[in-house]
Amino acid sequence: MKMTSMKMKKKLEERLSHEDWKTTFNRDKDTFRIEWKDSGDGITITLPNVIAKYESRGEAALDELEDHVQEALRIMNVSHDLQGKESQIYPVIRAGSFPTETNKGKKLLHQDHTAETRIYYALDLGKSFQLIDEGMLEEKGWTFERVQEVASFNVRSLPVEMKKDTVYGNDFYFLSTQDGYDASRILNEVLLEELKAESKGELAISIPHQDVIIFADVQNPEGYDILAQMAMKFFAEGTVPITSLSFLYEDKELEPIFILAQKKPKSKRKDD
């Protein structure tokens, strides 16, 4: 039986029932919102997106969504400060369209990255993180530069264990630790320089969503098409999508690659 927005709404109401939360359904926008009764802080979910994932993965998709929502709401109800937590500050990559303010008007710490992406800064809380706003800095007398330096150091300390695939003479390296900072590895200039030095061809990078980064040693034209298809697939599946475009890394700069993949690679694969 076809899943509808009303049926999904009922499923989410059952899963996200809490005496201190309230839920609302916006029929016009096809969205479902869960928020704290006392503060009004909460999360709005686009139901067609949830239905698509449910039809693809079943209840497992809702299990994952339930975990994300519960953790996000928990964080919203707790105040955090930065003092003594320098080792828990990391940069996170978001799409250029991502908000620069919270729903309450607090300005989030951010800076430009590429034409497609921005860098935000987060306080790691174990199972999740909280984006840092300017008020959190003012409370402790911190500067933006201090946060940038600490976050830059911490991202370089993250483990880098990648899976390698060779397809049509091009090498692809995948990293997906699910630690919330996989895409942030694109800010590890030491890693990028090492990969560039070892590349036989051009070094291309894709960050389709928060929990994956793809490095590609592109050695022939087919490599760009393959990377474009991979990036689009991951972008469509990601919980926190960033960009379907890939980037060429040259002279310590990231330039977007505009590729219209016209050929679908065959399934034949050569693995190292």
Same domain, 152 and 168: no
pLDDT beyond 60 at 25 = yes
Helices (H), the chain: 5-15, 47-57, 59-76, 134-140, 144-156, 189-198, 221-237
Q: Does 185 reside within a domain?
A: yes
Q: Does 263 reside within a domain?
A: no
pLDDT score, position 271: 44
Same domain, 241 and 170: yes
Q: Does 264 reside within a domain?
A: no
> Span 159-184, mean pLDDT?
93
Same domain, 110 and 46: no
Same domain, 91 and 126: yes
Same domain, 140 and 204: no
Sign, Cα dihedral of 39, 43, 47, 50: negative
Same domain, 183 and 234: yes
Q: Does 221 reside within a domain?
A: yes
Comparing C-alpha atoms, which of 165, 163, 151 is closest to residue 227?
165
Same domain, 71 and 91: no
Dihedral (Cα; 257, 95, 200, 163), 10-degree rounding: -140
Interacting residues of 188 by C-beta distance below 8 A, sequence separation 6+: 155, 156, 158, 160
pLDDT score, position 102: 87
pLDDT beyond 90 at 175 = yes
Q: Which of 101, 122, 156 is where one domain is finished?
A: 156
pLDDT beyond 80 at 181 = yes
How many domains does the chain contain in total?
A: 3
Q: Which of 107, 138, 156 is where one domain is finished?
A: 156
Q: Which of 55, 76, 97 is where one domain is finished?
A: 76
CA 53 – CA 12 distance, rounded (Å): 14
CB 164 within 8 A of CB 172: yes
Q: Does 151 reside within a domain?
A: yes
Same domain, 170 and 244: yes
pLDDT-based confidence at residue 7 (cuts at 50, 70, 90): very high
Burial class (CB in 10 A: 0-12, 13-18, 19+), 21: middle
pLDDT beyond 70 at 139 = yes
Same domain, 168 and 248: yes
Same domain, 173 and 253: yes
> Which segment of 9-13, 102-106, 184-188 scores lowest on mean pLDDT?
102-106
pLDDT digits (tens, 9 = 90+) for 110-128: 999 999 999 999 999 887 7
pLDDT digits (tens, 9 = 90+) for 211-270: 999 999 999 999 999 999 999 999 998 889 999 999 999 888 999 987 544 444 444 444
CA 116 – CA 245 distance, rounded (Å): 8
Q: Does 117 reside within a domain?
A: yes
Paired tokens of 133: 């706003």
pLDDT score, position 84: 75
pLDDT digits (tens, 9 = 90+) for 42-91: 888 889 888 988 998 899 989 988 887 887 787 666 655 567 778 899 99
> Span 24-44, mean pLDDT?
88
- Structural domain boundaries, residue 240: 163-257
Average pLDDT, rounded, for the chain: 87
CA 28 – CA 229 distance, rounded (Å): 33
Q: Does 62 reside within a domain?
A: yes
Q: Does 39 reside within a domain?
A: yes
Same domain, 169 and 253: yes
Same domain, 128 and 191: no
pLDDT score, position 220: 93
Comparing C-alpha atoms, which of 13, 52, 60 is closest to residue 33?
13
